[in-house]
Amino acid sequence: MTLSIITINYNNCNGLQHTINSVINQTFNDYEWIVVDGGSNDGSKEVLEQYANCFSWWVSEPDKGIYNAMNKGISVAKGEWLLFLNSGDWLYNEDILKKVFSTAHDADILYGDVMYHWPDKRGMELVEKPDSLSLYYFYKDTLCHQSTFYNQRIFTNHRYNENLCICSDWALYIQLLIENYKFEHLHFCISNFSQDGISTHLNEAHLKERQWVYDNCFPNWIKPDMETIKHIEEYNKHIESHKSFKRIINNANKRVVFLGKLINRLEKFRKNQ
């Protein structure tokens, strides 16, 4: 078995249906599909019963949160690779899994790009991930688990930290990087990610968890550099702002020159009349 797709859901019936449509239309079929529902009461269980023949294993029962449900899926997964495609997420196109596994991979983690879908007027945004990862990268950003494939061997000794409610996948990425697991960038979009979930909002709980990860997951030798990074980022913002200002001025100057030429032509035309 090449792939285990793990989908968790709680009271997201419409999102679950969207995810189901995405998976069942894949041209790649060497996968098992595990669905962990947290005891939904919005019709999700009825949807799962309707598509039960598509799943290798599914359950609908109360759990202790997102990462408890993901760990529950890990415990029954048999695939060489694991993909966490939660309800409301969907694969980029019907051939994407075939494209991922058309070649062999010797990395521990495969990560691809992601298409963000914003609930407001911003629409869609393709986010391309870097070819190489560092602790500095994870200080200010993360990978999307919807576009990440984990080799099964990772979960021989690792699980998601269930004491975290929002940032446990981020903490795991950092831990794997520190432990020298091999990451490989897939240079194409893997999944669509709707930006209306709990992890996309920097509320007080989210910021508190991020601070816990800073304090407990980043090694001591990198922590003194955090303030330097902040200053560098502020400097870069200033430079970009300065560049933007120069672009605005340049464009304005070009328009002034164009209007000046146009006025001169009109003036010549008027005199010739």
Write down which residue in 219, 240, 258 finishes a domain: 219
Of all residues in the chain, the percent with pLDDT exceeding 90 is 64
In sequence order, what are the beta bridge partners of 245? none
| Rounded-to-integer distance, Cα 270 and Cα 110, Å | 68
Are residues 70 and 197 part of one domain? yes
| Rounded-to-integer distance, Cα 85 and Cα 91, Å | 8
Are residues 17 and 133 part of one domain? yes
Are residues 119 and 239 part of one domain? no
Are residues 126 and 151 part of one domain? yes
Q: Any idea which of 29-33, 139-143, 177-181, 221-225 has the lowest mean pLDDT?
A: 221-225
| Rounded-to-integer distance, Cα 226 and Cα 219, Å | 11
Are residues 210 and 139 part of one domain? yes
Are residues 208 and 254 part of one domain? no
Are residues 208 and 229 part of one domain? no
Are residues 131 and 35 part of one domain? yes
Q: Which of 160-164, 198-202, 228-232, 265-269 has the highest mean pLDDT?
A: 160-164
Q: Both tokens of residue 160?
A: 């998601």
Q: Any idea which of 5-19, 54-68, 98-112, 237-251 has the lowest mean pLDDT?
A: 237-251
* Residues belonging to the chain: 273
Amino acid at 166: I
| CATH number where 147 lies | 3.90.550.10
Are residues 215 and 228 part of one domain? no
Q: Both tokens of residue 14?
A: 């419409």
Are residues 25 and 54 part of one domain? yes
Domain total of the chain: 2
Mean pLDDT of 69-80: 98
Are residues 257 and 210 part of one domain? no
Instruction: Give me the domain span that covers residue 256.
Output: 224-273
Position 224 confidence tier, pLDDT thresholds 50, 70, 90: very low
Q: Which of 167, 175, 176 is nearest to 210 (CA)?
A: 167
Q: Both tokens of residue 58?
A: 């599914």
Residue 229 pLDDT > 80, yes or no?
A: no
Are residues 255 and 143 part of one domain? no
Report pTM.
0.80
